[in-house]
Structure 1
């Protein structure tokens, strides 16, 4: 018998009924979820060193050691390192551990107004340096592998240029180098953060920091959300609704939201250097950026360098990262371009078998 076609009214009623059922299922799922179900950064680790609000973690091994030199992961101040271990099946750190890498990670803590005067010098010359010195003493080695992410990659570049004897291999991921190359590819939705920062005068930045004592995490969350306004407006209705039929997808969504909501404040003096000296004046690529009276010359970096970028990164556009190739003094320079956006290269399902393995394979060839 031929299938009877529903009238428009009947089709609309059926769709409305399906929607209500989906909402009911979603409410039941949300009602069952507790805080412990959306914990992030749960890979087994121990505190091995502390200095002020900075904490150094060492991760417990999950496989036989395959590299002789440990890796220190350094995230920036604009977000938290916990993104690198969002959940068990979306974790760069767990992927490295499974390949036998000895992994450390530095957590800068939660800066407050009392940290107003902390600068890049403090984070590079004191906190990062002391973490690296600790690891070198623990292992009886002169140098480590340093893996910098985003602003943490800028810290790492500065450190490798100023302390070349302490770095064996340098890995950068989604790291800005030439802060004025954001429009090089002509993609109008890329580099809005760069344009926003360039639009601020030095007086604007001074007033912002003077009023708050730091760069508020809430402000940066708002800036990032306005870079993709359509996605921001739709994620709590369309995006969230799409997860209501799948508990795993819902938990993935909630863990990411938890990380996004936990954006720390950025210490004031370091924020001024980031916004004025780097984003506005582009001093790093020009060789004009100074820490403690010393110029950071990227040509002084002669150790092997691996530069990982996201092909569709609207926050750190690829060309701002790839500028490193012509700036470093190393003859051993490699790039890996990954599909996805700024955070997607770490947390998307597709990247899980690519990022960690790519870093490991590169390090293994240079591990002696």
Structure 2
């Protein structure tokens, strides 16, 4: 039986690109149809996807962490491909790419209109948003870029929780979440464009994990926003020390010396969170730390962070992280123990 032509996949590389994601995607997609077959003796198989690195020009350069890149194609010669993939970019949480890569943005829009399916991993979706392709559509990225999307791309319906989001009903724009979300993206691409069976084989060979739990368990609930409101900053500093106390909100108001209603309004404007939500986030982050390192029952954890009602704490924890306290401990304590063992 004649082997079909491999699917063309253009993988975009820029100076900001994370080398681990770039070459991880190249390696995994290149192995589709051949690696499992060689390992288990099922014959030679045949390459199913042909990834090619595309950049602004053909000149070799270094991407993130000084990893060398030699592009296969530039924008002028990369005319058509069934798949276009934007790997993770090393971007500051305030960098919306609005002031660069105009030619690449226009190229992406044209490729989409020509019929290509476009995928992004992690912060690659920031480039997609800057191109305008996500306007009025749902998208995800690393949870750390939620505020960037809220400020710079308010018409993008940002979803911080899922590991994959389809931007349109046809599925021709798909965004993936956190830094290793390229694993999920690779499994999805292989399953969709080759076969579910081949995706499972590749996942087994590379030990790729499908993050069915989404991003919530990994996200930090506390990200201090830059602002110039001194009263709000005093409240944040006071709460960092006293968030476990029973009347933390009223205590913060007293510490600031301004009317409660005024502080609550200014706090929400400066931080994006209500005072009560801010206290809850501090408490849940502290609970996560305890669950990662301690072995006591969740009731003790609840009490330690300021909740006497253990049932309420469990419900709140599940809402904030997507996991029960027990599930969270089971997921993250082995990581902490492994780190401690390595240090010893």
Tell me the TM-score normalized by structure 2.
Answer: 0.29
Structure-1-length-normalised TM-score: 0.27
